[in-house]
Structure 1
């Protein structure tokens, strides 16, 4: 459990840890995941003494980032995310484009 946490964060930690273990994560991995999530939430809400820039300034979740910053060679945003961006930018022909074509049209 991260040091300096309140009761709400302790409950959150336990819930995340138990969920991860139910999904098959080892106890060590479950504790690590729970600590990371709780620490990030504490940083975002101003409860932590120190926090990284990405914890406090990036409003998008990992899912919304579509693999950005994953450092594992991800394919970047999903086709659905690219399509939504193309729709917002009113790119013609977007409905018949594949992921690669959407990336080119958007300049990714």
Structure 2
């Protein structure tokens, strides 16, 4: 059975949940289980209640822009094979090391062991 108030849901979301619930009941699912599945489906598709209010923290436009810029920089650095701050080569898996070696075009990487990859990456850095 679904928990909590459904006040934060739009009329469209409520109709959708009702329709899904009826569909499950037609398939022989119990009333409580059908209602639970219906609200779970609505939540998964739309992220929950969409009406404003509640305890959601609001982020300013400036903070959002700064976060996007920072995220874009980290993503670009990752594509270039640059380690993230605090990420050590010793703590990486062999797959991660191999990917980094591939990005740096280290010759013979496919035949290297993990320790050899670490050494080659340190030399190339």
Bigger RCO (CA 8 Å, 6+ sep): 2
Does the alignment reach a TM-score above 0.5? no
Query: What is the TM-score of this pair, normalised by structure 2?
Result: 0.34
Query: What is the TM-score of this pair, normalised by structure 1?
Result: 0.39
